[in-house]
Structure 1
């Protein structure tokens, strides 16, 4: 049976105020329109809903039963409406973000902190994965958006460029022979190298660059975590290829130095990835707007 919600709306107001005239005033319609709506509903249901008196009306037993259900439905609708407005005004909601540990630590945390202060009722969930894993999470609907190393070749994923980052080689005093001079990629192959695992997008981009230069690196150690690469470099296990920001403090303290390369690694672009034709929640859209607005400052 098709439900005419307008009839139930009129019934709700008439029952609540026990008056057709008051219902008409609240709904901005005529009293005769209220009477006709109630008559139509009674005919539709096959029973009487009100006892008509002079100015007031009283619900029949069947009307009382119906009103309890309609009132509950009305309250649910009002609650849903309020939640909708809260989400629209960023008073509630949830954001699910996919991002690598390193990018989260060195670029995203200040923005997470600021957004949380401005919108404390928004729940933020951060899932740490590699770029390829982030894209899978996105396609499976497990995150709202992800930050991944470009390029992304999936046509179903919409990419907006976020920031450009730089990968560098760092070493401790054990490899001081590499300090204060230009070092070629081929010379670097003679040293123990510490790099990200081969399956990562970042490593794939580096290997592609090396291939174009006719150079092959065979790392001594491969890890998933850039911060661990920095730590291993500090204790002299080799020359590490890391995100520049991840080694900034160690370089400042003199624990590591940047190996100045004759052929620098190409800058790496990161993008904000969302699914095409899948609308974002207001909270997720607001966070992305914040990132895009201030993306340039993250690179300083």
Structure 2
């Protein structure tokens, strides 16, 4: 299934062989002269247990280093298409983010991202590239000029990490905003081993790069980065949020489908 985000309609007319030739030449010339090109993005298949929760309103953000920015809402209540197409200025790179529907207000899975160079008209959106593209998009939205930025090198460096969502995004945004980017700024957040008891079931992290955790109701040991982490149980539509501070102190909150809350402190074993 392919979704086109932009299309035009033409009146029906009687077609003759001569007219076909003329139209072919005309459309070819228009394509060459058009300031835009059609870009097609391939979308991966989501894990089966999450497919129901991913139906709904998605957020689409598109930007470039030269200042273009567009934002749309996509109604994918009937399911996620395998491809989307959009019109985008020629000779302009495309940064694209797709954010799934929220699990709960203000809390959604991590966005998926893709970078399409100005020389290409096709790309594969991925969970992993979402981390890099979300950093760049936030910087561009803040009005920082990144023209001439070596995006391919940045994506390559981030791509060597198992989970780029666990890098220090604040540091990266600060240094990129100052145009002082160095590869050694791509560093992981401080990680802590946290003991946490989850209700039974499969729990998914915001980033689909991480394998789901299967809980039998007993206490499990996790490795969480400093800051906020959340997990989602699609069967019960419950969310657990964990906040770890820079001293290794951790608290959690479990929100059930009916918005009832349970909170508590986590047991932190060591860094």
TM bin, normalised by shorter chain, reads under 0.3
Say which structure, 1 or 2, has more relative contact order (CA 8 Å, 6+ apart). 1
Bigger fraction of residues in strand: 2
Q: TM-score, normalised by structure 1?
A: 0.26
Bigger fraction of residues in helix: 1
Q: TM-score, normalised by structure 2?
A: 0.28
